[in-house]
Amino acid sequence: MNVATTVKNETATAQKVQVVNELIDPNGKVVGKSTSKATIAANSKGSVQTSIKAKGAQKWSLDNPILYSVKTTVFADGKTVDKNSLKTGFREFRFDPNKGFFLNGENMKVKGVCIHHDAGVLGSAVTKEVWQRRLATLKSIGVNAVRTSHNPQATHLYEACDELGLLVMNEAYDEWEFPKRKWLQGWNVGTPGFEGAFDFFEEWAERDLEDMILRDRNHISIFAWSIGNEVDYPNDPYSHPVLGGEQAGGFTQATYGGYNPEAPDAMRLGAIAKRLAAVVRKNDPSRPVTAGLAGVAMSNETEYPGALDIAGYNYTESKYDEDHKKYPNRVIYGSENRHDIDAWYSVANNEHIFGQFLWTGIDYLGESGSWPSRGFYSGLLDFGGYVKPRGYFRASLWSETPMAYLGTYPTPGRGARNRNNDVWSQLEAQNESNYVERTPSMDAWSVWNYDNEGQSIRVVCYTNCAKARLLLDSKEVGAVKDYDKKTGIIYWDIPFKAGKLEVEAMNANGTVEARYAIETSEAPAAIKAKVDKNSVEKGGMVQVELTVVDKAGRRVMLSDNEVTCHITSGATLMGMESSNNSDMTDYTDNRHRVFHGTMVVYIHAGEKEGKVNVKLTSPWLTSDEVSFEIK
């Protein structure tokens, strides 16, 4: 392990120092040590460089994220004047324009998601415990990478990724020297404004980027630095003659017209990219420089892509093959992508495309639709960190463990509304009685409660197995069907009848490898709660998950009961998050309605040791109580 230690001498005379670096393995054993001497001039900084040999050191990987500690101690006149300890590790990776990405010599696809920095009711005050739960859930459904879109995040996010085994693409900017359009009245609604950080760019861009790299570069999970996202969006603000189809391979950008000679010249992008890339390479030559390109056809006419080591394409799968042939040395990946299966096939079926990052991994505040709407709802996880149906659909594409999931909704064209009058898919809503579905929904919830027996219900199965069959109370109601490679979804239209609906997912030989069942529930009867940890350090965050169940203990998916949280002294309620995007009620009190029968409650531990009791009540329901210790 190569170590560079910067020592600052704040005295008026030169100082002789001794720098001791120790490498400590996960078991706390010192496995390597280096001692260096140097003289640091008065009121200046000096760099002491050394290397530590550690025979038999293990590599950090996604499946085995082994971390080592580097303990640094600085001595002057035989006395300790400063010390520091950080966690890092060993790993190697490389990118090949034809073969993609290799981690520790293994060729693999990056299955990534873009994430924002907020967590629903917590806003931007997201603790490490909350990130650990959310990121572990993402990993459980096959995600192996995150992109910090579009700004650096709190340090504990990177710590969690180091510990869990998730790759990180660390991103700095969403705009450069000019502002981009900002939707102020709702997502893609009204007249845009131009608020942003652009007016600080010239003075702060390079310094901020350097600070980000110096802060984060020892995190073993980070594998690329992104210097920008969609700064090249056509005519927002830059323009180029290629937008008017005036050059070979040109096109007309419909949204804001063709070439606009009055707009900033897109050729400026290359010079700025070179400046930012130089900052990255100066401070960390070990990782590639990247960016998310939104106007690839326009940027290809500039020096922008050439300033990058790896080029991210936002929603531009159509350019993958064309540009691979035209620029054979360019490493290409999807830096921001839709959730549809074709976007994934563009990665899976092209050896030279090393991965993709979905928009998004988790629902986030902002970019709201028409009222009532709290935020953007395209995540694999909801605001509270629970897996949504499209999260299970993604697991069917990305998970290496056999899995199956069942979701339902009224058969399209036969009254596509459920008993709560909710459209069957909030993202792909259709209300016309003659609507014909083109693709089965990836947003079908596990509900088996409908008013009318005999009503035609579409049952969808998301699985990575070769085929599946459907059972109701152990009797076959849906014949064995092969996996549909075109849609990634197996489905049956069956008449509703209360009971236990179960799917058996099988391999090609007919051996059952995965099961998933949902049951018709009765009326809500009780609250069942569990705490994520029985003890917590002072100042830590505890997450209590609660579920509304019927008298048989089954989750009541249609429940929206209002729950009140009572906490004894010693801790503070930070928020109650049920993940309902359309719930616009007060999020600062101790009462909130569950959504799909569930909720997570965030509780901040105080500074006083002792037991904390949490009681959850609701009218007509049996209450529940959990507790934890503050240490």
Q: Nearest 5°: CA angle at 597, between 618 and 341? A: 160
Residue 256 confidence (pLDDT): 61
Residue 421 confidence (pLDDT): 39
Cβ-based neighbour number of residue 594 at 10 Å: 23
* Helix and strand counts by DSSP (H, E) for the chain: 8, 35
Residue 244 confidence (pLDDT): 84
Residue 51 confidence (pLDDT): 95
Q: Is the distance from CB of 615 to CB of 523 less than 8 angstroms?
A: no
Q: Which domains does the chain have, with CATH numbers?
A: 2-88 (2.60.40.10), 108-397 (3.20.20.80), 401-519 (2.60.40.10), 526-630 (2.60.40.10)
- pTM value > 0.75: yes
Q: Residue 429 pLDDT > 50, yes or no? A: no
**Omega cis (within 30) before 360:** yes
Beta-bridge partner residues of 17: 38, 76
User: Which of 464, 490, 465, 495 minimizes the C-alpha distance to 479?
Assistant: 490
Q: Is residue 433 very low, low, confident or very high in pLDDT (cuts 50, 70, 90)?
A: low
Q: Is the distance from CB of 95 to CB of 310 less than 8 angstroms?
A: yes
Give residue 307's Cα distance to chain centre.
27
User: Which of 517, 520, 551 minimizes the C-alpha distance to 455?
Assistant: 520
Q: Residue 568 pLDDT > 70, yes or no? A: yes
Q: Is residue 184 very low, low, confident or very high in pLDDT (cuts 50, 70, 90)?
A: confident
| Residues above pLDDT 70, as percent of the chain | 95
Q: Is residue 35 very low, low, confident or very high in pLDDT (cuts 50, 70, 90)?
A: very high
Q: Is residue 414 very low, low, confident or very high in pLDDT (cuts 50, 70, 90)?
A: low
Residue 55 confidence (pLDDT): 87
For the chain, give the mean pLDDT: 93
Beta-bridge partner residues of 148: 115
| Sequence-ordered list of residues with C-beta below 8 angstroms from that of 441, at least 6 positions apart, any chain | 389, 407, 409, 424, 425, 428, 458, 460
Full DSSP string of 339-364: SSHHHHHHHHT-TTEEEEEES-SB-E
- Least confident stretch, 17-26, 161-170, 425-434, 553-562: 425-434
Cβ-based neighbour number of residue 588 at 10 Å: 9
Q: Residue 560 pLDDT > 90, yes or no? A: yes
Q: Nearest 5°: CA angle at 538, between 534 and 540? A: 65
Residue 246 confidence (pLDDT): 62
Q: What are phi and psi of 565, to 5 degrees?
A: -110, 125
Q: Residue 146 pLDDT > 80, yes or no? A: yes
| Sequence-ordered list of residues with C-beta below 8 angstroms from that of 139, at least 6 positions apart, any chain | 164, 165, 166
Residue 418 confidence (pLDDT): 41
Name the helix (H) or strand (E) containing 393. Answer: helix 389-398
CA distance 297 to 316: 10
Q: Is the distance from CB of 461 to CB of 491 less than 8 angstroms?
A: yes
| Arithmetic mean of pLDDT, 107-129 | 97
Q: Is residue 247 very low, low, confident or very high in pLDDT (cuts 50, 70, 90)?
A: low
Q: Is residue 257 very low, low, confident or very high in pLDDT (cuts 50, 70, 90)?
A: confident
Better-scored residue on pLDDT, 110 or 417: 110
Q: Is residue 402 very low, low, confident or very high in pLDDT (cuts 50, 70, 90)?
A: very high
> What are the CA-CA distances from residue 28 to residues 23, 31, 165, 586 (Å)?
9, 9, 20, 47
CA distance 237 to 458: 45
Q: Is residue 430 very low, low, confident or very high in pLDDT (cuts 50, 70, 90)?
A: very low
Q: Residue 97 pLDDT > 50, yes or no? A: yes
Beta-bridge partner residues of 365: 375
Helix (H, G, I), strand (E, B) or coil at 146: strand
CA distance 353 to 189: 34
| Arithmetic mean of pLDDT, 463-475 | 98
Q: Residue 268 pLDDT > 60, yes or no? A: yes
277-307 pLDDT, tens digit per residue, is 999 999 999 999 999 999 999 999 999 999 9
472-483 pLDDT, tens digit per residue, is 999 999 999 999
Output Rg (C-alpha) for the chain, integer angstroms.
Answer: 27
Residue 196 confidence (pLDDT): 83
CA distance 197 to 385: 30
Residue 431 confidence (pLDDT): 45
Q: Residue 416 pLDDT > 80, yes or no? A: no
